[in-house]
């Protein structure tokens, strides 16, 4: 997420037990000084965290559907680019 890191303020609804809790940098869109390759690798790891073991994935997908299309980063096992691609 380029403008705001993954946090309760951005997520909106609280998702207790979410595998991403406490891992905001992993799910962020851009980290200053990071190469495109490093970002792609980090995003792959974040997607894996969501898809492999998140107990609230379905609830997260429902929550993401209510967020602005400008949201970026890894959400609900998807890399969002801020222009509506989910």
Tokens of 19: 């595998």
Tell me, yes or no, if the pTM score tops 0.85. Answer: no
How does pLDDT run across 10-33, given as a tens digit for each residue?
444 588 999 998 888 999 999 999
Alpha-carbon span 86 to 77, nearest angstrom:
10
Domain ranges of the chain: 8-81
Task: Give residue for tokens 């997420």.
Answer: 1
pLDDT confidence of 36, banded at 50, 70, 90?
very high
Alpha-carbon span 60 to 50, nearest angstrom:
10
Q: In this structure, are residues 47 and 41 in contact, taking their beta carbons and an 8 Å threshold?
A: no
Alpha-carbon span 2 to 71, nearest angstrom:
8
């Amino acid at each position: 997420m380029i403008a705001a890191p993954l946090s309760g303020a951005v997520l909106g609804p609280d998702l207790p037990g979410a595998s991403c809790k406490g891992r905001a940098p992993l799910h962020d869109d851009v980290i200053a000084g990071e190469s495109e390759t490093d970002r792609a690798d980090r995003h792959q790891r974040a997607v894996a965290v969501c898809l492999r073991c998140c107990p609230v994935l379905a609830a997260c997908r429902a929550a993401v559907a209510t967020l602005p299309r400008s949201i970026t980063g890894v959400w609900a096992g998807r890399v969002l680019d801020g222009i509506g691609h989910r």
